[in-house]
Structure 1
Amino acid sequence: MAINKSKVAFGFIVAGSLTLIFGAISVIVGPTVISSQVVKNTVIDPKNDLTYTMWKDIPVPFFMSVYFFNVLNPAEILKGEKPMVEQRGPYVYRKQCQKENITFHPNGTVSYREYRQYHFEPSMSAGNESDVVTIPNMLVLGASVMMENLPYVLRLMMSATFKTFKEGAFLTKPVGELMWGYDSGLVDFLNQYLPGMIPTSGKFGLFSEFNNSNTGLFTVFTGKDDIRKVHRVDSWNGLTELPYWRTAQSNMINGTAGQMWPPFMTKESTLPFYSPDACRSMELVYQRPGEMYGIPLYRYVAPKTLFANGTDYAPNEGFCPCRQSGLLNVSTCRHNSPVFISHPHFFNADPVLLDYVQGLNPSEEKHGLFIDIHPQTGVPLNVSIRLQLNLYMKKVSGITETGKISDVVMPMIWFEENGYIDGPIVNTFRTNLVVLPTVLEYLQYILIGLGLATIIVATVVYHKVKTNQPGQSNLPDGIKCSSAEERDPLLQDDMN
């Protein structure tokens, strides 16, 4: 029986050793296995149901919230007084994006056009599209600044044209018309006699170019040959660099298309992306870790230098001519219209901009932009991109519609595009890319612990059994007996 116990104990020692070895191998090989699974699932490939669906159709809710800066004192502004505005909104639109004309190429890239549509959501809005607001008239004030260096007689003719079509310095119209377009005799006139001066040939609206449109022909890397390049833009509309800016660095098309990034991000990683709407590449930086639905994330935000001018941040010199820090001059890609992009309420901008306009209250919580990324996969979990559209306006001699307007960068609207991972896709994402790798990681250490415990216990049992086997006494050597006869002399007499 003791011999059987020793064999069983020895068997447990062997089993524990094998468990320990398997656990140790898992610790070494496990991260490689997990990484290979991440790589396999993040390559842009129709076979990857989860990530390909997220890339192709963006199956999570995505919204655009628009806020108007309603002008309270248009008559006083024309007399040179400081503008006063009040924020109106949000007016919320559900955004639908879908990639079409998807074409995979032999060099490890894929081309596509992403189409977008916007649908008004009354239940999520603080008003209706029928709400009437007053904003600067881009057609008048923008054209005036564009013409300020032309001969005086041409400016007089333009002013007469404005009067003919009853166009003033400010517009008072319903939100829906300001957003998606309204009929304008001036637009028809300009398209006929000054073609190319404005970006539309139909109705004129702040977002008339956005709805039912696409963001251009993107060609991005699939990551098949190098996962570090997945989603990185190879070209946009056939261009590998932009024609808008003054330096090669500013004209670079960097990063991804702004929807997904390569996996295995660290706190030193950044989020570069190219935005056709901003006409440039931008880059977000790491701020802090976090968690969403139990999924770990890194939050990335815009650095203060993002819209800094060339004086405050030399690499941005290529985006000039600049004004105060916090403004991006996009006139070169907006038909030379004096349009500037900034953070909402001039957040992170030169404080002097706030002095020019009453009614602005910037804060990081309400007006800072951020993207929350799952660092292991590069998939965004929560996105909030907030930008403001501003118009530079001033008095232009010869154009009486500009009155005595002081030089000012006037906020018109700001908008937030936001979305977050939700619904059944959360469970699938968490199971495949968070829970299973975590279970595998813990299993490695469980195997090592179980193996060590089994070896220790089995070894103790084995030695104890061996020590108590027959023929092995614990008595001192002086009183040991070597045979039955030596133990009992009577047995020896009987035998004789």
Structure 2
Amino acid sequence: MTQGLSIMAKSSSGIRRGILSRKYTILSNLVITNNSQSFDWFIRPPVRAVYKIHIFNYTNVEDYETGKAKKLKVEDTGPYIYRETLTRVNQVFHPNGSVSFQEKRSFQWEGGSPDDEIIVVPNVPLLAALSIMKDRSYFIRRGFSIFLSAHGIKAFVSVPARGFLWGYEDNIFTLSQSTFSQAIVPLQEKIPFDKFGVLAHKNGISGDTITINTGADDMSKFGMIQLINGKNKSKQFWNDDKCDRIHGTQGFMFPPGTFDHPNATIDVYSLDMCRTLSLRSHGSGTSFGIPSLTFKPPTDIFTLSPSSENYCYCPESSSGSEVTRQCPPAGLVNSSACSFNLPFLASFPHFYTGDKILREKIDGLNPQAELHESSVELHPRLGVLIGGHSRMQMNIQAQEAPSIPHLHPIEDGQILPLIWLDVGIDNIPESMLTIFKHAYFTAAAAEMSIQYGSIVGIFLPLCTLFYIIRKQRIERRAALKRNASEMSQIKLLDAIKIANI
């Protein structure tokens, strides 16, 4: 019996070793090494993300400015569909199994709404300048007000959709980049593009150098960001060790063991928000005919309060000698610290899951889970992104500056939606798709054969064990019968002898 159980234990251990060996053999092909196929895919990703960009067109500005309308009204226009081309340049491999690089992006319009159509949107450079001017002296504010009046600058502008996204001529922005006019038309940081556009910073080579783990030395850290610009903490955006810590991947690949169990949580570090976003397992799905693992952000991920574990993502605010944190309304995260100090806030589209007050102040918003929530679909064996939708909205906060009336009638503190993006994958090249399918279906078949082969290996010893036990029982019964028969014969002979006597 003991021998049979020992055989069973060895067979079960063999199953685990066989499956794990197969799994890590597959994953080892993802390791980023120089001159490997994985390196080519990493440097020039064959999967090109599609950006479906929606712009909020303000349709009643004239009535609002004259007092005929009490609330602004927006129309969700688009989508304006762009295809991203991404390459990773200036790559440097390090002895500790990491690689550093910069990202270079370009975008090509592919369809949807024509991006030369005219839309009416908030004057973002003006709102950005006002957010800084409120803390300047009266004389500087007065000079800025004269400048605005002389150039006829208003709170809303009419521009082509393409210009609003990628860059258009703007007097405030142009002058703010001049050293001579910084005192009159200030922005807190020198912005590295020639024309203002809400997505202009995404075009071209990023100023950030990212260092990630290649998996060469430790697959448990595969894809994890180690450093940004040589540091493992952000530039003290939040003035808190926990929230300033850089932790997570870029969102397209994850280390093994972090994604393949029912209660898994995966971490993505967002450069646009300067924070880690944790996504939770939401069962399974299918993407491009491959079973996938579904992950979604919690609905309260942008709900911050003193009792929240993410309270440190609320920016600090000084009042005299006292320093406190100022949290935005539920559903918003302040991203100004990593957006050139422009007063931007991020949210889900249409303020989905946000405080209802955000929607009550503007007509035309209609949040829907199926249209506005984010999700990620991962390959269940490789942990690479094979589907899903990243949906985020960019907003700006209007901040009043004394003696500058150009914000009127927009209320001080009003949150104005600008655009929202639906970034996803609508196509995977056949060569890569074949590999993904092979990694799932062929590996699954191999594991099944290992399991079934081992089951046979367990079943045969069990049968042998049961046969031996049964045979021993039969032999014991036969022996008992023989003994009983022999005793009966002896008793019979004794009885005959007694009778003869």
TM range (shorter): 0.7 to 0.9
Q: Secondary structure at the match of 1:354?
A: helix
- Match runs of 1:420-459 below 5 Å: 420=426, 422-424=428-430, 425-431=432-438, 433-448=439-454
SS of the counterpart of 1:112?
strand
Q: Which AA in structure 1 matches 2:253? A: M
In the TM superposition, residue 189 of structure 1 has moved relative to its aligned partner by: 2.0
Q: For residue 232 of structure 2, give the secondary structure of its aligned residue in structure 1.
A: coil
Task: Say if 1:23 and 1:445, in contact at 8 Å, map to a contact too.
Answer: no
Equivalent residues of 1:330, 1:341 under 8 A apart:
yes
The C-alpha deviation readout for 1:80-108, integer Å capped at 9, x for no partner, is 73111011000010001111222211111
Distance 1:100 1:386 in 2: 27
Kept after mapping to 2: 8 A contact 1:383/1:420 = no
In the alignment, structure 1 residue 354 sits paired with structure 2 residue 359? yes
2:114 to 114, 124, 128: 128
Cα–Cα, structure 1 residues 348 and 312, in superposed 2: closer, same or farther, change >3 Å? farther
- 1:302-360: CA deviation from partner (whole Å, max 9, x where unpaired): 11232112246242333333220111112222333221111110011111111111100
1:384-395 aligned at under 5 Å gives the runs 384-395=389-400
Measured in 2, the distance between the counterparts of 1:36 and 1:333 equals: 38
Match among 277, 298, 303 for residue 303 of structure 1: 298
Question: TM-score of the superposition, structure 2-length normalised?
Answer: 0.80
Matched, 1:319 2:325: no
Instruction: Pick the aligned partner of 1:247 from 217, 220, 240.
Output: 240
Q: Which has the higher contact order (CA 8 A, sep 6+)?
A: 1
Q: SS where residue 225 of structure 1 aligns?
A: coil
Match 1:84 to one of 52, 65, 73: 73
CA distance in 1, matches of 2:293, 2:91: 30
Shift of 1:254: 0.6
Paired-residue identity, %: 26
Q: Displacement of 1:291 after TM fit?
A: 2.6
Q: What secondary structure sits across from 1:249 in the alignment?
A: helix
Matches of 2:9 and 2:269 in 1, distance apart?
A: 48
Q: State yes or no: 1:203 paired with 2:195.
A: yes
Counterpart in the other structure of 2:422: 416
How does 1:261-300 map onto structure 2 within 5 Å?
Answer: 261-264=254-257, 265=259, 266-300=261-295
Is 1:330 the equivalent of 2:335?
yes
CA offsets per residue over residues 110-135 of structure 1, 9 Å max, x none? 1111211100113xx1x212100000
Query: Could you list the runs of 4 or more consecutive aligned residues of structure 1 that deviate by over 4 angstroms after TM superposition?
Result: 20-26, 448-457
Name the count of aligned residue pairs.
436
For the pair 1:99 / 2:91, whether they are aligned, the reply is no
Which among 339, 343, 349 is matched to residue 344 of structure 2?
339
Aligned partner of 1:75 among 54, 62, 66: 62
Determine if contact 1:230/1:261 at 8 Å carries over to the other structure: yes
Question: How far, CA to CA, are the matches of 2:139 and 2:107 in structure 1?
Answer: 43
CA distance in 1, matches of 2:12, 2:330: 55
Structure 2 match to 1:146: 132
Once residues 156 and 19 of structure 2 are traced to their aligned partners in structure 1, the CA distance between those partners, rounded to angstroms, is: 62
- With over 3 angstroms needed to count, the CA separation of the structure-2 counterparts of 1:449 and 1:396, relative to structure 1, is closer
1:414 is paired with a residue of what secondary structure?
A: strand
> Does 2:236 match 1:231?
no
The CA deviation at 1:208 is 1.7
After TM superposition, give the deviation of residue 167 of structure 1 in Å.
Answer: 1.6
Q: 1:310 to 1:260 in 2, by over 3 A?
A: same
1:57 alignment counterpart: 44
Query: Any unmatched runs of 5+ in structure 2?
Result: 1-7, 316-325, 468-501
Larger Rg: 1
- When structure 1 is superposed on structure 2, of 384-393 and 313-322 the one drifting more is 313-322
5+ residue gaps, structure 1: 1-19, 461-496
Q: Is the 8 A contact 2:193 2:200 kept in 1?
A: no
1:302/1:160 Cα in 2 relative to 1: closer, same or farther (>3 Å)? same
Q: Distance in 1 between matches of 2:218 and 2:245?
A: 21
> Deviations along 1:244-283, whole A, 9 cap, x unmatched?
1131111110111222111232222222122212222222
**Selected match of 1:170 from 156, 165, 172:** 156
| 1:222 corresponds to which of 207, 214, 228 | 214
In 1, are the aligned partners of 2:126 and 2:172 still within 8 Å (CA)? no
Counterpart of 2:114, as a letter, is: N
- Are residues 1:111 and 2:114 paired? no
Return the offset for 1:213. 2.6
Secondary structure of the residue aligned to 1:117 is strand
| Alignment check: 8 A CA contact 1:310 1:318 kept | no
Instruction: Provide Cα deviations, 1:119-160, integer angstroms capped at 9, x if missing partner.
Output: 0113xx1x2121000000011122123212323332221111
Whichever residue aligns with residue 225 of structure 1, its letter is D
Deviations 1:21-50 (A, max 9, x none): 99767524311321331341232224652x
RMSD: 2.7
1:197–1:22 Cα change, 3 Å: closer
Contact persistence 1:23–1:444 (CA under 8 A):
no
Partner of 2:497: none
